[in-house]
Structure 1
Amino acid sequence: MSIYVGNLSYEVNQDDLSEVFAEYGTVKRVHIPSDRETGRVRGFAFVEMASDAEEDKAIETLDGAEWMDRALKVNKAKPREDNRSGGGRRNNRF
């Protein structure tokens, strides 16, 4: 499973997040999505830890915590919805 971390500063990097989450266990992976056009960080990230227990401890402690002048939103990541099929503007005729 993975942890969703929201309301991040646009200045955040992988090392910053790894350091914070390492206090709660082994960090396996950090992914910080960026905007395709601008390359700017999008303000959220995903963190994978070695065990569910470590993830639960990090979520419990960090959700709502103040970090880099922002109140973090931390919870279990939900599976990604595939909304790329059909109905998009490119399929419509104007």
Structure 2
Amino acid sequence: MAKRIYCGNLSFGTTEEVLKGAFESFGEVISVKIITDRETQKSKGFGFVEMSDDDKAFEAIRAMNGKDLEGRKIRVSVAEERERNPRVNRDRRL
């Protein structure tokens, strides 16, 4: 089963390729997604890495949490599934 990892405090210039490269030394990286603002498409400073092996993912979390990546000390932890709310009345700003 794949393990999803949260990566926070990323530099706004960090690319998905850079983030993937930082985690590949620990094991197979299935996917990488840096979260961006819908309107500006600029990074929000966090993202997710999905690794194929749970043990390798935990090793990566222990090793990468607090490490410097592109000038920032990143926060790395197991990603928690969040409950999604339906988009009810989302456009009330009119």
TM tier relative to shorter chain: 0.7 to 0.9
User: In the TM superposition, what is the alpha-carbon distance from 1:85 to its structure 2 partner?
Assistant: 5.3
More helix by percentage: 1
Gaps of 5+ in 2: none
TM-score by length of 2: 0.87
User: Residue 14 of structure 1 aligns with which residue?
Assistant: 16
- Does the residue aligned with 2:43 lie in a helix, a strand or coil? coil
More strand by percentage: 2
Gaps of 5+ in 1: none
Count of aligned residue pairs for this structure pair:
91
User: In the TM superposition, what is the alpha-carbon distance from 1:46 to its structure 2 partner?
Assistant: 0.3
Q: Distance in 1 between the 2:73 and 2:89 partners?
A: 36
Change in 2 beyond 3 A, CA 1:15/1:89:
closer
User: In the TM superposition, what is the alpha-carbon distance from 1:87 to its structure 2 partner?
Assistant: 7.8
Q: Which has the larger radius of gyration?
A: 1
Report sequence identity in percent: 37
